Structure 1
């Protein structure tokens, strides 16, 4: 900021007092962990013989006392800026002769503030609130000079970044220019994959430690998918259309971070209700991130490579999931009956929340590419096939609806297979299945790049999913495990290809379309209950008929794309399809 060094030092010291709050909070956290182990010892004595005989009431008393201290120190720190008038009077009493109260009254006559002067020997005084809420005059003038150009680029949107800078248009970026922003956004894919890994393992450990039934365990999983249903539609779409991609990234990251931090009270209290809320909020935040991140990868750069970029980015997501899965099962939660490991899992989620904050700050500082609705309409008009109709309906609408349908049933089948595979086979085979899933996405990207159109790749993927889910249903033992691993490989490519194809030609409705496609990830909300019901009545192998059924329902979309000529012309990539800079 443009201000004298003395005032910079005052500002830093003023806000630096808040370090006291951090210090108290660190001490409180140490006692909270002791409280958590003692609390869970009382609830589950038979499974926690290794926990020392800690006095729960003693630990709780210290934790509550430190919580009160933390709140009061926070209030004190927040009041420090308002102490400036008192500090000014004390300085006059100690340093200057005369009647300080009279001199201060002259300030109060001007509204309680020092009146800045422009004389060379009397520099203007910069008030604390001026520092906090007002910009330097030269900065305002510079911004006003660029207002016209910025508004033209915004297209009615309010972009969020520290510099209020004019972001690049992602539809006008070539392959080289789009590499850096796509690489940055890929870190978010890795992050939410890394979050899902320990969350899925921790759900099972928490259910074991707290003696949840299988129905209640499925309810924990359903809460996570329920967040995916609500987040994109209630918050993601609005923020994306109104404020752009950067603001949506920041919103999703903060909500996701709040959800991960909620595991702390859930672990301390051993509360299933709080853990359900934590799962719901994590899914809510990740749904918002999916809304913008997948759209960003599909549009940032030449559109002919949309599905390829999505396949690679989603491979990063699966890699994060595999890394977290190995870390969770082999380091963090090795003993499924250990309460202490469940409590210590709060530190994992604290690290995830910290990463969320860091990424949010990065997106605030960097003016990442955006995409105005007018330019989306312009690129849509470049392809005449987007104006065709099917049964009186716009073909882009039909493609989107069938894409959302296919996405919903694909995710349902994937979640059903994941839940069964993780519970029926050892953890090392689960890791092999996840590795096959990553390989399937990378292989799909290579195949599309070299010779096969995305719609054909999707059809092959669905055919493989149906065939190997049938084989999985009719085999047992190691053969069933092998069929399940191959099924993972075919599942890998479907999600990114569906997302990329369904967004094509949607024009100014692309952001709304992305919100509905992200909400379709909630396919795992209801079907696990159906499959478990079939499992109870007919056995585990027969329950895979539900997986076969949902994959068959999702296969309607690739059949439509490959059998209808109008659909083929609408979705097939065209070389060099992006807006040229004017």
Structure 2
């Protein structure tokens, strides 16, 4: 007797849990940055290799992930993505055991490769689990849970990683070689238990998806159309070209700000907080993004989404200007408030960029996922800038990113008459 597939609401709940998990693991990079900076006594540019490696995987693995999804379908791809991410999380154990910064970076790359496959598979999959008219609602729900993950993981797991007191440069210099080695080993090993637990959770989710009969769907296009379409054809659409740049700069700005928050709030003239305490304040940055998505979804029923995108980008730029020009609580809370206005940017840019792409939508989506590599490049550039001019004035870089996004919302996201006439590709179930 054949077992019936689970209903769409149950399948949506299961896949939304995966959004929650990968959001949380991504935000833990903001905790790893000050932690590994202290362990290996690195400057800001060297430490930003964490984000460079993690988000560089999006660029390198996006197209291979798309090929995997096309070959084996959404559900098996989600399982493979979860297992790959679990292997990356498990690699934190030997990386901390050594300890070795290079092995940490390898673990991050494997973890991010799994998340890239999840991004490519789960985003379209959840939009297909139900009527097309409510696809935006389903995706917004999943993205809100993704933001919930970015909010709670640093709050609960961050203090575990940053539990030991971080010594300053003068204190480290005063330690004997043996004491310095013991300190670094103790600091490095604080990540072992949290990441082993994360690896176990990912494996459990993979088993859940594999065992439960959630629908297996596939979005297809006519074979002849697919052969004649290329990424070059997709990039001929101006609103997609500008959208790829907008995603690159948005993710870069969001990640760069989050990457510096703990070190920034720990500065005496800003918050004077310990690293462990500062990690709890990340809830305001990432939690603001979660709350903002619910508010934005309601506002978009009465306000043009592109205009709202431009407004949020302008406010984010103003908040950065405030934090650059002030001290104390004003500087600290103004930068944390940016999370609220980041909230609608990624989904609004993404949906605006693929609008009217028809049978080119799949290729457009892959290009936009590749553009997440901005999370690798912009933080690294800001780290280099911070080493030269200081962490506070270096926020000028994400400020410029938001200025471009404001332009994209007002002008760059508009599609021409020809582009708007493209039809959507049909969907079919894969049995």
Bin of the TM-score, shorter chain as denominator length: 0.7 to 0.9
Is the contact between residue 307 and residue 500 of structure 1 (CA under 8 Å) also seen in structure 2? no
Report how far residue 211 of structure 1 moved: 2.4
In 1, Cα distance between equivalents of 2:309 and 2:426: 24
Q: Which residue of 1 aligns with 2:193?
A: 347
Of structures 1 and 2, the one with the larger relative CO (CA 8 A, separation 6+) is: 2
From 138, 148, 157, the equivalent of 1:328 is 157
**RMSD, aligned CA:** 3.3
In 2, Cα distance between equivalents of 1:505 and 1:568: 6
Q: Which residue of 1 aligns with 2:254?
A: 414
From 242, 258, 262, the equivalent of 2:71 is 242
- After superposition, the Cα gap between the structure-2 partners of 1:232 and 1:256, relative to the gap in structure 1 and judged at 3 Å, is same
- 1:473 lines up with 2:302 in the alignment: no
Unaligned runs of 5+ in 2: 167-182, 226-232, 266-272
Q: Which residue of 2 aligns with 1:482?
A: 333
Report how far residue 360 of structure 1 moved: 1.8
SS at match of 2:326: coil
From 389, 409, 414, the equivalent of 1:538 is 389
Is the contact between residue 82 and residue 206 of structure 2 (CA under 8 Å) also seen in structure 1? yes
Output the TM-score relative to the length of structure 1: 0.60
Q: Which residue of 2 aligns with 1:431?
A: 283
Unaligned runs of 5+ in 1: 1-138, 143-162, 169-176, 379-392
**Aligned ranges for residues 53-452 of structure 1 at < 5 Å?**
178-233=8-63, 235-337=64-166, 339-340=185-186, 342-365=188-211, 366-374=213-221, 397-425=237-265, 426=273, 427=278, 428-448=280-300, 450-452=301-303
Report how far residue 454 of structure 1 moved: 3.0
In 1, Cα distance between equivalents of 2:346 and 2:295: 14
SS at match of 1:301: coil
Report how far residue 288 of structure 1 moved: 1.3
Would you say how many aligned residue pairs link Structure 1 and Structure 2?
Answer: 391
In 1, Cα distance between equivalents of 2:107 and 2:77: 20
Report how far residue 224 of structure 1 moved: 1.0
SS at match of 2:35: helix
- After superposition, the Cα gap between the structure-2 partners of 1:320 and 1:504, relative to the gap in structure 1 and judged at 3 Å, is same
In 1, Cα distance between equivalents of 2:210 and 2:242: 36
SS at match of 1:490: helix
- After superposition, the Cα gap between the structure-2 partners of 1:486 and 1:397, relative to the gap in structure 1 and judged at 3 Å, is same
Output the TM-score relative to the length of structure 2: 0.80
Is the contact between residue 225 and residue 523 of structure 1 (CA under 8 Å) also seen in structure 2? yes
In 1, Cα distance between equivalents of 2:81 and 2:415: 38
**CA distances 1:84-106 after superposition (whole Å, capped 9, x unpaired):** xxxxxxxxxxxxxxxxxxxxxxx
In 2, Cα distance between equivalents of 1:200 and 1:540: 15
In 2, Cα distance between equivalents of 1:258 and 1:326: 24
- After superposition, the Cα gap between the structure-2 partners of 1:357 and 1:540, relative to the gap in structure 1 and judged at 3 Å, is closer
In 2, Cα distance between equivalents of 1:376 and 1:346: 47
Report how far residue 540 of structure 1 moved: 3.2
Report how far residue 257 of structure 1 moved: 1.1
Is the contact between residue 458 and residue 494 of structure 1 (CA under 8 Å) also seen in structure 2? yes
**Aligned ranges for residues 459-470 of structure 1 at < 5 Å?**
459-470=310-321
Report how far residue 198 of structure 1 moved: 3.5
- After superposition, the Cα gap between the structure-2 partners of 1:453 and 1:333, relative to the gap in structure 1 and judged at 3 Å, is same
